[in-house]
């Protein structure tokens, strides 16, 4: 349904450090970059998420967040740790969220611009 999503950020370098860490923990990487934008995905020039330098960027208010699929619970843990190291704010430590299902394991962060992000894996652990 969605080809890609772009987020305006006030400090591209700070956002790059944050998203390099959290998305790297989930198996994604930078697939392009220039002076005003950085794209993340799996294949070169095929961004799924794009960060764009915008001096007047503002995150949406409560109710909006991006949830990234994680391959494992360990990846969710790594996402959270990387985000905290890179200037993110904790918005929910890694753990089970039984309100969302018996195997819903997630972590929540707020990025340097105020965007709320989540990593989630929903499958049972063997």
One-letter-per-residue 3-state SS of 31-97: EEEECCEEEEEEECCEEEEEEEECCCCCCCCCCCCEEEECCCHHHHHHHHHHHHHCCCEEEEEEEEC
Q: Quickly state the pLDDT bin for 123 (edges 50, 70, 90).
A: confident
pLDDT band at residue 81 using 50, 70 and 90 as cut-offs: very high
- Structure confidence at residue 114 as a pLDDT band (50, 70, 90): very high
Distance, in Å, from the CA atom of 89 to the CA atom of 38, rounded to the nearest integer, reads 22
Residue 126: pLDDT band with limits 50, 70, 90 = low
Q: Is there a contact between 71 and 25 (Cβ–Cβ < 8 Å)?
A: no
Would the pLDDT of 22 be above 90?
Answer: yes
Domains of the chain and CATH, by start: 5-122 (3.10.180.10)
Does 125 have pLDDT greater than 80? no
Q: pTM of the entire structure? A: 0.94
Instruction: Check pLDDT > 60 for residue 116.
Output: yes
Per-residue pLDDT, averaged over 5-29, amounts to 97
- Given a cut of 60, whether residue 120 has pLDDT beyond it is yes
Question: 15: helix, coil or strand?
Answer: helix
């Amino acid at each position: 349904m969605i080809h890609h999503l772009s987020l305006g950020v006030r400090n591209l370098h700070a956002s790059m450090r944050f998203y390099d860490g959290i998305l790297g923990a989930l198996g994604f990487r930078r697939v392009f970059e220039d002076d005003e934008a950085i794209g993340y995905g799996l294949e070169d020039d095929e961004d799924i998420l794009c960060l764009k330098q915008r001096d007047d960027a503002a995150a949406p208010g409560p109710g909006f967040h991006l949830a990234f699929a994680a391959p494992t619970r360990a990846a969710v843990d790594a996402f959270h740790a990387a985000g905290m190291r890179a200037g993110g704010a904790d918005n929910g430590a890694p753990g089970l969220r039984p309100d969302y299902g018996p195997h819903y394991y997630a972590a929540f962060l707020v990025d340097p611009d105020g965007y709320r992000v989540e990593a989630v894996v929903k499958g049972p652990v063997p």
